[in-house]
Structure 1
Amino acid sequence: MEKRNFLLASNSPRRREMLGWLGWQFTVCPANIDESPLPGEAPEPYVLRLAGSKALAALSNAEAHQTVLAADTIVADGDVLLGKPANAAEAAAMLRQLRGRSHTVCTALAVIFPEDRASVRRAICVSQVPMRAYSEEEIEAYVTSGDPLDKAGAYAIQHSGFHPVEGFAGCFASVMGLPLCHLLRLTGQTADPYAICKSKLGYDCPISAAVLRGEALG
């Protein structure tokens, strides 16, 4: 199978790192769009719309041979969307809101292929994320580190010091911002995402094979 060359329409260092794990060739061109939700917009339509808008915004910067790839992630507590916190106080409030409960993380992908610039193909991964009952002291230390400030929901699932999530059994990569199995399925490319997540994240993914088969799991 011919390897595609990608234009990644994202400013996320985590997405750049994860796309690099696949060994794919890509350049980066962040797409700046209005990310405000529409009135009453639910989490899944919201991230699908934003991912598509980012891909379309980046399209004019793509070379003729490049496949445009965009992604968007949102943390949702019920119907309440939790984006990136504006400051430390907001980050702490989000972490308290999520503490000891499960919430939803939605990551949408959007792809525009060079052979069909008129179409935006989308996929979404929806994960249920159980948070542990971390202490106020842990919240304070984590917020002081600055790590939550550029992350939806004010946390990184992969943070080894804070480790906010326990009992998770979904797509770890999706909660980080780039669901690798869904990406492979959408683009038709090949890789071993199970081995990648095992090696890079220490995560023994229980759903990888099922997602690659086409099941709607997250």
Structure 2
Amino acid sequence: MAQPRLILASNSPRRSQLLAWSGWAFELDPANLNEDPLPGEPPAEYVLRLAGEKARAVAVRYTGEPAVVLAADTTVADGGSILGKPADAAEARAMLRRLRGRTHQVYTAVALMDVWRALLVQDVCISHVPMRHYTDAEIEEYIQSGDPFDKAGAYAIQHPRFRPVVEFGGCFASVMGLPLCHLQRLAARLELTPPQDVPRACQSNLKYACPIWQAVLNGESVG
């Protein structure tokens, strides 16, 4: 049976890069939605709601077609507080100081919408992320690079110079924005199989020996 068209409802270059490692051919058709959390909305519910809304919003453009829409949403949470993308340098500085030397959580939700069957399936990956004791000078240098401003929590785990995270033992790809093993097990519910060996490709490209990939594919709630 021919594979349906895969539509990535995102303009994130990181998600495109990660998805390409799966071997799936895909097209880009970003969703454009209000991403503000609802009052009192817990982080897991927030990212699941947004991922689902993005998938549905793009799916209506392909009504009647054999297509699957992939959407994702990532947020950083410190306790019950959701930290979105910083609006300016002052907000980025405050976020980075708040997270410094502590462990916080990153929530990434994945949604797959089978347009033909009008079937939406979702999953969420929750990662515990320990941050190192970077200095104020390092924060300022990182802000000057411009990198924090399009990222929840004002940082990128993969940044080659800042390297804010230490002793991480979860899904590296999820903190970047798309947990590939969670995506693979979610796709299996729609009878979709990636062309590539996803765990091997992910670890090879990230140069990261993931300790949880087998547990994820076995259906465990780890991130």
Sort the TM-score into its range (normalised by shorter chain).
over 0.9
Structure 2 CA distance for aligned equivalents of residues 4 and 204 of structure 1: 32
**Match of residue 222 from structure 2:** 217
Structure 2 CA distance for aligned equivalents of residues 172 and 14 of structure 1: 12
Deviation at 1:12, TM superposition (A): 0.7
**Match of residue 151 from structure 1:** 151
Runs of 4+ in 1 over 3 A off after TM superposition: 1-4
Deviation at 1:196, TM superposition (A): 1.6
**Match of residue 79 from structure 1:** 80
Does the 8 Å contact 1:43/1:81 carry over to 2?
A: yes
**Match of residue 180 from structure 1:** 180
1:49-128 matches, cutoff 5 A: 49-62=49-62, 64-117=65-118, 119-128=119-128
Tell whether 2:203 aligns with 1:203: no
CA RMSD of aligned residues (A): 1.3
Does the 8 Å contact 2:73/2:109 carry over to 1?
A: yes
Deviation at 1:62, TM superposition (A): 2.8
Structure 2 CA distance for aligned equivalents of residues 85 and 71 of structure 1: 19
**Match of residue 136 from structure 2:** 136
Q: Give, as a single letter, the amino acid of the residue that structure 2 aligns with 1:10.
A: S
When the two structures are superposed, what TM-score results if normalisation uses the length of structure 2? 0.94
Deviation at 1:207, TM superposition (A): 0.3
- What secondary structure does 1:7 align onto? strand
Tell whether 2:153 aligns with 1:160: no
Q: Which runs of 5+ in 2 are unaligned?
A: none
Q: Which runs of 5+ in 1 are unaligned?
A: none
Corresponding pairs, count: 217
Instruction: Say which is worse superposed, 62-71 or 132-141, in terms of deviation.
Output: 62-71
Identity across the alignment (%): 58
Structure with greater contact order relative to length (CA < 8 Å, sep ≥ 6) = 2
When the two structures are superposed, what TM-score results if normalisation uses the length of structure 1? 0.96
Deviation at 1:114, TM superposition (A): 3.4
Deviation at 1:185, TM superposition (A): 0.4
